[in-house]
């Protein structure tokens, strides 16, 4: 494989990883945040309950896990498509 081809492939894989991270993080982070707010709406004290801190922490965990999973999947897809 010529050097230019290898360099282009690595840029394609890097771009796929970045886009996959962004999409996965946005989707899973938003899902965690919206479900957390929905659950807080049914808590006894609402947004002022003791569980209010769990919502942003859960959203952050969802953001990170979604980003990692999205990046991993996108990189695998890009590598398999490139051969």
Q: How far apart are CA 42 and CA 10, in angstroms?
A: 48
Q: 83 or 40: which carries more pLDDT confidence?
A: 40
Q: How far apart are CA 17 and CA 15, in angstroms?
A: 5
* Domain ranges across the chain: 23-82
Looking at residue 44, its pLDDT comes to 86
Which residue is it, tokens 């990692």? 68
1-55 tens-digit pLDDT: 555 666 666 888 999 999 999 999 999 999 999 999 998 888 888 878 888 899 9
């Amino acid at each position: 494989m010529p050097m230019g081809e290898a360099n282009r492939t690595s840029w394609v894989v890097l771009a796929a990883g970045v886009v996959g991270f962004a999409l996965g993080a946005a989707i899973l982070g938003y899902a965690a945040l919206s479900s957390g707010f929905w659950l807080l709406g049914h808590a006894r004290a609402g947004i002022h309950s003791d569980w209010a801190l769990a919502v942003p922490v859960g959203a952050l965990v969802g953001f990170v896990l979604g980003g990692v999973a999205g990046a991993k999947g996108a990189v695998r897809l890009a590598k398999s498509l490139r051969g």
